[in-house]
Structure 1
Amino acid sequence: MENTTAAAIARIAGPSAGGFRVFTACFAGLRRSALRCAGAFAVAGLLAGCMGSTLGTAPDGLQSLPSTPSVPAVTGQTIGTGTVRVGLLLPLSAGGSASAIAATFRNSAELAIKDFQGSDIQLLVKDTAGTAEGGRAAAQSAIAEGAELILGPVFAPAVSGAASVARTSGVPIVAFSTDTSVAGPGVYLLSFLPAGDVRRIIGYAATQNRKSYVALLPDDAYGAVTEAAFRQEVGRTGGRVVSIQRYKVSGSDTSDLTAKTQALVSVLPQADALFLPAASVAPFVMQSLMTQGGNLANIKVLGSGQWDAAQVTSNPIMAGTWFPGPERSGFDALSGRYQATFGAAPARNASLAYDGTILAAGLVRSAGPQRFSQPVLTNRDGFLGIDGVFRFLANGESERGLAVYEIAPGGMKVISPAPRDFRAAS
């Protein structure tokens, strides 16, 4: 155990590691070994061995201080029985797919508490209804009941509502939205962000001598964020943007998409890469290009993390294309435990609630009174969760270590492994 810990600290935190970095290092090394054997039940016990010595020891003279005042009463659902309260804000009553996401995230958080044996946190589950007003009310309730950290909400309006309360109370948020407009100091996004996908796939393409790019992007907020990151990364790697086409899709009307795909045909000979991030249209566009005479012989088609879906990865027309994403071994292990516990496979984003809960529990154990402070949460060495290494930036956005996949006739394969720490990623 001591050798494993020392190696992990040297690899992740370096020789100047402090208390909270020790947690990071131990979590990193131990999660890998736990997930390889398809379970994380030993994480908490092993983590306790890593912590060792002084992190939980009160300074001289403080042991005899009076006990803390009684804590506020809790209303609604709770998960766990620890002494440190953490809000879990979910769209429980939003209906449809939103309520399904809420149920999955709640179950994932419960599984994380079970896996982290001896966790000293209690999750206060609050309903946001997916709205700004609901997010505000849920955050108010959680903070009034003693929450020191908020996990969630899921949707951007609810994050904005919760942030309006949490910031004034000094309570940080680790949210699950992908909308970077709601990120900021004290509001951190644990989700997979479009800019991270772009950096990884364009960066990798550049190492494979791809220099001239065309792109087909949705004409919406996602497309705008993706385009900005795309232009920046192509420039950073010394490439050039030949053409960008922006399309609108209204229901089943794909006429504009078809027209913009046709416009790409004439510029493809000037390029060696096509960036096509939206999974919902990728197979359609590939078929349309071939039907319209687009020559893809010298073109490498590049996607985004959205492509990690059966309708894309199992479609023969997508063979040979590349896309970024987390390595799957960790999620596959989580999925197996989730299905055994709850009787159904989880959605792919279930790992967000699981990792957020494990992160909270680990920091309570390792970082003492500073557990959810800005320096701890924005530790530059980051943390290692189900989906690999991640870290929060001061602006509230996050960075992740991603792999690059190639879609093959028999499935998808890793062609560039995910980095195991951020020094390897830089």
Structure 2
Amino acid sequence: MTRSIALSPTLLATTFLVSLGFFSQPAVAQAPVVGASQPVMASGTGGLEAGALALRERRWLAAIETYKPLVNNADSVVRGQSRYGLALALSQLGEDEEAFKVLDGTLRDATPLGQAVGDLRGRLALQLAERFLAEKGTATANPWLNSYERLTDQPDRSRYERLRAAYDTFQGQQASMVLRVGVILPLSGQLGEVGTSILHGLQLGLREFDGRRGTRLELIVQDSGDGAQTATAAKALREQGVDIVVGPLLANGVGDTAEAFDGSNTPILALSNDKSVMGHGVYALNYLPSEQARLAARAAIRQGNRKLAVLAPSTDYSTEALEAFADEGRREGATVTGTAYFDPNATDIGASIRQLTGASATSSTLPFNALLVPAPASKMPLIKAQLSYYGVNNATVMLLGTGLWQNNDLLRTNSGMRGAVFAAAPKVQRFEQSYKASFGEDATALAVTGYDAARILADIAGEKQRTGKPVGELLTRPEGYYGSGGYFRFGSNGLTERGLDVVSIGTQFEVKKPALNLLPLTLPTDLRPDGAAGWRWQR
């Protein structure tokens, strides 16, 4: 297989590392700015209903365009509702600073929104403090903390206390507590290149983040080789009393490690993307196929494609992707018209395609307009040729994939993949430059996960010292963690939400929707303006 950007042939050949990315992340387009023009007359209640519907359907750009004409409406109720809705939509695109500015006007209006506006403003201030603390340091974070402190009602107080403590101790104290981090990685054998790159990412992160909170991270590293040494490595780490474990890489090794730490309450940040080994104190640090498939479903639905289908090789990876894709489609109100598996080693998959299309279907009568194919990039030209033979072409069907597609071979004209869309982990240019300067070689795609793990662990060490809470409890905080390679939120079930790019295949890989570094704010539970009660948002 052809070597892809910053990705070794060994890495490409390994199925448990399939959800990796190496695409440049473009600058996010500037969000619309609410002007200071005089109040204008516009359709009020109808526009509010349309905006609320767009928010419920997660059509953020449509919501923005709906609310923009209403933010200077002569009616203060419409004006307040629109600014609140516009701020919510902007926040979902990561435009938190612009959303905060929008709410300045809302606070001056005689609006019935009251507590909801104050809560959103406070949550935005904390979101911005988190972002600036991660990206630019304390000087830029403090004004947002001060903005929060001036609010009468202060939502998410625990998050504020964490951020204020992080600000107050940022690079200012000698380490008074050590967090012992066990690391199990393949540093030798077939996967040695991958494991070493992840370890280098951890080490690079330690240089940047360790010591900021008056704490120190101590790495205790064990080599798992090709996997046979994992159980021995895990037992050695338990004997040394580590507080948390990063690794191992393979699903079987995750089970061995969990068994070695059974009853210890020591969290394990596993690098496998097999969700069956997660839970009971084991958390996914890698990008899961289910998250990629859910994002692919949303990308299709946002473009108006509501008849979905799946054509998948018979693998555990594909089964997880298929189930998540179908669940997300149904949750979003789409119809799953069919699913079909095929032998991953077969060269003729016509029977599986006919199962989806119907025996006499043509391109104009297909029962679906979006198709997920979670197959490796090396298989896609053959699959795409057979899809075209049965009338499934790019003009009528949106072809969707996962991180398995991140290979430059698909950029070739004869691949037939132009216009196809997939979800993938973002490329982090600044990290990759720093990595090469430090180690004299290109990072593999999982190296940034080690780097982000160091950032998370430094944060947890500071919080453990401040609160005395167990590491496992601190790990699953609801707002998640900032990540250079996309945000993290660890669920109590061990599964992890990650920020991902939406990528289109053309003459080059084009990032259509960049990953967010911070998890967006949670929307209100009910986004229906209640006309009978003066157009207050129902909560």
Question: Does the C-alpha gap of structure 1 residues 109 and 25 become closer, same or farther in structure 2, counting only changes over 3 Å?
Answer: farther
Does residue 257 (structure 1) correspond to residue 360 (structure 2)? The answer is no
1:96-150, Cα deviation, whole Å (9 max, x unpaired): 2x1221111111111111222536111011122343x633221221122231110
Query: Which of 373, 393, 401 pairs up with 2:471?
Result: 373
Partner secondary structure for residue 218 of structure 2: strand
1:111 counterpart letter in structure 2: L
Question: Does the C-alpha gap of structure 1 residues 295 and 389 become closer, same or farther in structure 2, counting only changes over 3 Å?
Answer: closer
What runs of 5+ residues in structure 1 fail to find an aligned partner? 1-5, 35-46, 58-79
Q: Distance in 2 between matches of 1:361 and 1:167?
A: 25
Offset at 1:255? 2.5
Identity of aligned residues (%): 25
Moved more, 269-278 or 152-161: 269-278
Question: Does the C-alpha gap of structure 1 residues 295 and 365 become closer, same or farther in structure 2, counting only changes over 3 Å?
Answer: closer
Query: Which of 492, 498, 510 pairs up with 1:400?
Result: 498
Offset at 1:277? 1.8
Offset at 1:220? 1.4
Does residue 83 (structure 1) correspond to residue 198 (structure 2)? The answer is no
1:361 counterpart letter in structure 2: A
Q: Distance in 2 between matches of 1:52 and 1:104?
A: 31
Offset at 1:275? 0.9
Contact 1:108 1:353 in 2 (8 A): yes
Question: Does the C-alpha gap of structure 1 residues 33 and 167 become closer, same or farther in structure 2, counting only changes over 3 Å?
Answer: same
User: Which position in structure 2 is the counterpart of 1:411?
Assistant: 509
User: Which position in structure 1 is the counterpart of 2:310?
Assistant: 215
Does residue 352 (structure 1) correspond to residue 449 (structure 2)? The answer is yes
Partner secondary structure for residue 214 of structure 1: strand
Query: Which of 188, 211, 220 pairs up with 1:118?
Result: 211
User: Which position in structure 1 is the counterpart of 2:31?
Assistant: none
Does residue 339 (structure 1) correspond to residue 432 (structure 2)? The answer is no
1:327-355, Cα deviation, whole Å (9 max, x unpaired): 43xx2211111112212211111111111
Question: Does the C-alpha gap of structure 1 residues 255 and 353 become closer, same or farther in structure 2, counting only changes over 3 Å?
Answer: same
Partner secondary structure for residue 263 of structure 2: helix
Q: TM-score, normalised by structure 2?
A: 0.62
Q: Distance in 1 between matches of 2:203 and 2:177?
A: 13
Q: Distance in 2 between matches of 1:147 and 1:190?
A: 18
Partner secondary structure for residue 386 of structure 1: coil
Query: Which of 101, 113, 134 pairs up with 2:194?
Result: 101
Question: Does the C-alpha gap of structure 1 residues 195 and 263 become closer, same or farther in structure 2, counting only changes over 3 Å?
Answer: same
1:282 counterpart letter in structure 2: M
User: Which position in structure 1 is the counterpart of 2:424?
Assistant: 325
Q: Distance in 1 between matches of 2:468 and 2:404?
A: 36
What runs of 5+ residues in structure 2 fail to find an aligned partner? 1-95, 102-118, 138-161, 525-539
Question: Does the C-alpha gap of structure 1 residues 33 and 56 become closer, same or farther in structure 2, counting only changes over 3 Å?
Answer: closer
2:497 counterpart letter in structure 1: E
Q: Distance in 2 between matches of 1:178 and 1:170?
A: 22
| Count of residues in Structure 1 that have an aligned counterpart in Structure 2 | 373
2:315 counterpart letter in structure 1: D
Query: Which of 14, 24, 29 pairs up with 2:132?
Result: 29
Q: Distance in 1 between matches of 2:448 and 2:257?
A: 22
1:15-414 mapped onto 2 (5 Å cutoff)? 28-33=131-136, 51-53=166-168, 83-93=178-188, 95-96=189-190, 98-118=191-211, 120-131=216-227, 134-250=229-345, 254-257=346-349, 259-261=351-353, 266=358, 269-280=366-377, 281-291=379-389, 293-313=391-411, 317-328=416-427, 331-368=428-465, 370=468, 372-414=470-512
1:363-404, Cα deviation, whole Å (9 max, x unpaired): 212331646533311111000111121100000010123232
Partner secondary structure for residue 348 of structure 1: coil
1:194-239, Cα deviation, whole Å (9 max, x unpaired): 1111111102211221111222101011122122112212211222
Structure with bigger gyration radius: 2
Offset at 1:257? 3.4
1:32-72, Cα deviation, whole Å (9 max, x unpaired): 458xxxxxxxxxxxx99962458999xxxxxxxxxxxxxxx
Q: Distance in 2 between matches of 1:29 and 1:168?
A: 38
Offset at 1:247? 1.3
Q: Distance in 2 between matches of 1:342 and 1:263?
A: 51
Partner secondary structure for residue 379 of structure 1: coil
Question: Does the C-alpha gap of structure 1 residues 343 and 239 become closer, same or farther in structure 2, counting only changes over 3 Å?
Answer: same
Contact 1:325 1:402 in 2 (8 A): yes
Moved more, 231-240 or 263-272: 263-272
Question: Does the C-alpha gap of structure 1 residues 221 and 161 become closer, same or farther in structure 2, counting only changes over 3 Å?
Answer: same
Q: Distance in 2 between matches of 1:384 and 1:125?
A: 25
Q: Distance in 1 between matches of 2:425 and 2:408?
A: 16
Offset at 1:298? 1.2
Offset at 1:14? 7.7
User: Which position in structure 2 is the counterpart of 1:71?
Assistant: none
Q: Distance in 1 between matches of 2:454 and 2:380?
A: 34
Partner secondary structure for residue 257 of structure 2: helix
CA RMSD of aligned residues (A): 3.5
Question: Does the C-alpha gap of structure 1 residues 417 and 51 become closer, same or farther in structure 2, counting only changes over 3 Å?
Answer: closer
Q: Distance in 2 between matches of 1:364 and 1:415?
A: 33
Offset at 1:256? 4.1
Moved more, 377-386 or 164-173: 164-173
1:286 counterpart letter in structure 2: K
Question: Does the C-alpha gap of structure 1 residues 264 and 344 become closer, same or farther in structure 2, counting only changes over 3 Å?
Answer: farther
Q: Distance in 2 between matches of 1:30 and 1:287?
A: 49
Q: TM-score, normalised by structure 1?
A: 0.77
Question: Does the C-alpha gap of structure 1 residues 418 and 317 become closer, same or farther in structure 2, counting only changes over 3 Å?
Answer: farther
Decide which structure has greater strand share. 1
User: Which position in structure 2 is the counterpart of 1:43?
Assistant: none
